[in-house]
Amino acid sequence: MASPFRILSFLMYVFIVGNLLTGCVSYRLIRGTEGRPIPPVSEECQVGKTTLQETLETLGAPDQVAELEGKDVLIYRRSLLAQSGLSFGIPLADIWISSFDISAYGRLVRYDLLLLFFTPDGILSELVIEKGSQHPYLKTILSDKKGD
C-alpha cells in the first residue's frame, strides 16, 4: 500500500506538470499610422519664388505651424509604427501569487516629414524632406541634412 506522502507527492507532481503543460504561446502584431501621407512637393514649390499662400493652396493645411529662427515653418508629418511581440506564459497563479511569463517585443517607428521655411515676407526660403527616418521630427529639424 502506498503511503499518504507518496500519494500527496504524486498529486502535487500531476498538478504542477498539468499547469506547466497548459501554458500558452502568443504572438502579437500591432501596426499604426498617425497623421496623413506627406503631400508630394511639386515643381511649383521653388526656394526663393513660392509664396506661403501658394504653398497652402497647393499642399493644404499643415499638421503644425511653428516659428524657428524668425522664420515661419509649416510642418507636415506622419508616423508609422510596427510592433511585434512573442510571449510564453505558464499559469502558476494557483500555486504562487503570480504566473511565469517570458516576453520579447520589437518596435519600429518611421517618420515621414516635410518642413517648409518661410521668410517674414512669406517667401519659401528652405525645405526639408525626410522619408522613412528613424528620428522624430525635432531631431530632423536640428540635423544638418537638408533637401532641395
pLDDT score recorded for residue 144: 54
Least confident of 50-54, 67-71, 73-77, 129-133: 129-133
Report the number of distinct structural domains present in the chain.
1
Pairwise CA distance, residues 21 & 10, whole Å:
16
The residues that bridge with 25 in the sheet, in sequence order, are: 88
The 8-class DSSP code of residue 141 comes to: H
DSSP secondary structure string for all residues of 27-86: EEEEEEEESPPPPP--TT--TTT-BHHHHHHHH---SEEEEETTEEEEEEEEEEEEEEEE
Tell me if 11 is assigned to some domain. no
- Residue bearing the bigger pLDDT, 62 or 8: 62
Pairwise pLDDT comparison (115 vs 42), residue with the higher score: 115
What is the domain extent for residue 121? 25-89+96-142
Amino acid 124 reads L
Residues counted in the chain: 148
- Average pLDDT value for residue range 126-137: 76
- Residue 5 resides in a domain: no
Q: Decide if 35 is inside a domain.
A: yes
Asked if residue 4 is part of any domain, the answer here is no
47 occurs within a structural domain? yes
Structural domain includes residue 124:
yes
Question: What pTM value is reported for the model?
Answer: 0.57
For 14, other C-beta atoms within 10 Å of its C-beta total 10
**Tell me: the pLDDT tens digits for 19-71?**
556 666 677 778 888 888 887 777 777 888 888 998 888 888 888 888 888 88
The secondary structure of residue 36, as a DSSP letter, is: P
- Residue tagged 521655411 (cell numbers): 117
In a domain, 16, yes or no: no
Judge whether 13 lies within some domain.
Answer: no
